Amino acid sequence: MIKNKLKNSKFYFKYLLIRKTSLSQYIVNIIFQKFLRINSKVLINLNFTSTISAFDKIEYSRDLSTLASFSISGHCYIQAINGIKLGENILFAPGIKLISANHNMKNPKKIEKRDSIEIGDNVWLGTNVIILPGVKIGDNCIIGAGSVVTKSFTKNNLVIAGNPAKIIKEITHD
């Protein structure tokens, strides 16, 4: 009975996140966010080497995989000026770049209005993946390390890789 109550509590969820992250990493992230005020407006445990701008324009699931990726994966740059929507169970490696806005070519001080980045459920982003404004990724996709995704791949169950990214193969569930 007590164990079931514990599993439903925020404390238990934080406990699982700390176990997945490691206590030392979790504490270092908190020191940088809460005491040194680096990424202090970000409401989740973020790796101290990562940067998020316009955090309030990110829609994300509070599942363990997604939150652990934010906490563990370092050197990530997430710019959400035009919005970013992340599905459930997103797994991303270090160094990813999600860039939702570009500068206007005629006036670099202006930001161009574009569609948001949308990433489906159960998507795995390999190390140093770059996803550019307006890109939509379907569910159950894998994006290979170093890929630059400049266009949408809305079909589900794909392996995507390259610069520019293209479909490498479709994942079949036998």
> Pick the catalytic residue: 34, 41, 103, 166?
103
Would you state the structure tokens that stand for residue 162, as one six-digit string? 């390259």
CA–CA separation, 99 vs 88, rounded Å? 20
Per DSSP, 111 falls in state: B
103 is catalytic: yes
Region label for 6, one of left (φ > 0), alpha (ψ between -120 and 50) or beta (otherwise):
alpha
Return d(Cα 168, Cα 90) in angstroms, integer. 20
SS3 of the chain: helix, strand, coil, percent, to 5: 25, 25, 50
Cis ω on the peptide bond leading into residue 164 (within 30° of 0)? yes
CB 130 within 8 A of CB 150: no
Query: Which residues are known to be catalytic?
Result: 103
